[in-house]
């Protein structure tokens, strides 16, 4: 198991955001997490990333964890390759490690660029390289495509699926986009009222196409209480 959460409850003061969440992510499994705004998706990701341990219940995550956010969060005063390896312990191999990770996200020629010169999609790929360079057993993606235009988003879907096939980390992808979840995930979860209220396993084949799993799509939308595909 890459991650196991049981009876997880998270409160902010008097407010209970997560209330008895049970969740397992198998090694190498791609899981998408949907939920309305404010349902606690980012809170759950932060807990899995060990950024918040003030919780009730059990959280167990095996191995290395990386997280990438909707905003790439690059340091503008450091070159791209230095951003990729920021905080890594082994300084001697840094440049080579960064270059390898940048090549994986098709940005080998941008190692010496400054972050403000990158497009939104490029910056997000640097952020992915920074997550990958840690060779995570669990990769947490918090709406990583949310700020990108539709074409760039499609290219990123393909890239993430390729990287996942190659390295096979467990992935938990938070998204507002039901179609994105149906394109990428092995399993789709819906968070609502503080717990997982729906779960759907999607079978092969891959790669998927828009329009696959329309039956699941309808059920996920119903669990979300909406009739449109974009909830943002």
Ligand X SMILES: Nc1ncnc2c1ncn2[C@@H]1O[C@H](COP(=O)(O)OP(=O)(O)OP(=O)(O)O)[C@@H](O)[C@H]1O
Contact call for residue 43 and ligand X (CB under 6 A): yes
Interface with ligand X, residue 175, by CB under 6 A: no
127 binds ligand X (CB under 6 A): no
Which residues share a beta bridge with 25? 3
Q: Which stretch binds ligand X (CB under 6 A): 33-41, 118-126, 150-158, 196-204?
A: 33-41
Residue 193 within binding range of ligand X, rule CB under 6 A:
no
Among 38, 76, 89, 92, binds ligand X (CB under 6 A): 38
At a CB cut-off of 8 Å and minimum separation 6, what does 172 contact? Answer: 3, 25, 31, 32, 33, 45, 48, 138, 139, 140, 141
Cα–Cα dist 145/164, whole Å: 16
Minimum CB separation from ligand X for residue 190, in Å? Answer: 11
Which span sits near ligand X by CB under 6 A: 19-27, 36-44, 84-92, 106-114? 36-44
d(CA 209, CA 206): 8
147 makes contact with ligand X (CB under 6 A): no
Q: Using the Cα atoms of residue 107, residue 109, residue 112 and residue 113 in order, give the sign of their dihedral.
A: negative
- What is the rounded CA–CA span in Å between residue 48 and residue 64? 11
From the list 35, 115, 136, 169, which residue makes contact with ligand X (rule: CB under 6 A)? 35
Residues lying near ligand X in the complex (CB under 6 A):
12, 17, 35, 37-43
């Amino acid at each position: 198991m890459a991650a196991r959460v049981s009876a997880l409850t998270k409160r902010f003061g008097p407010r209970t955001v997560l209330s008895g969440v049970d969740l397992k992510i198998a090694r190498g499994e791609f899981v998408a997490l949907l939920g309305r705004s404010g349902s606690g998706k980012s809170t759950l990701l932060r807990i899995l990333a060990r950024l918040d341990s003030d919780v009730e219940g059990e959280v167990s995550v095996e191995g290395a964890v990386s997280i990438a956010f909707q905003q790439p969060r690059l340091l503008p005063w450091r070159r791209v390759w230095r951003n990729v390896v920021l905080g890594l312990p082994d300084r001697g191999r840094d440049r080579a490690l960064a270059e390898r990770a940048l090549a994986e996200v098709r940005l080998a020629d941008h190692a010496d660029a400054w972050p403000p010169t990158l497009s939104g999609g490029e910056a997000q790929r640097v952020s992915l390289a920074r997550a990958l360079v840690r060779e995570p057993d669990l990769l947490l993606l918090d709406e990583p495509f949310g700020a990108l235009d539709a074409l760039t988003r499609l290219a990123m879907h393909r890239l993430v699926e390729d990287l996942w096939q190659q390295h096979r980390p467990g992935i938990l992808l938070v998204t507002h986009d039901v179609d994105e979840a149906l394109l990428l995930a092995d399993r789709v979860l819906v968070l609502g009222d503080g717990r997982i209220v729906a779960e759907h396993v999607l079978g092969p084949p891959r790669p998927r196409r828009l329009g696959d799993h329309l039956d699941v799509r309808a059920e996920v939308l119903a669990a979300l209480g909406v009739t449109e595909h974009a909830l943002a």
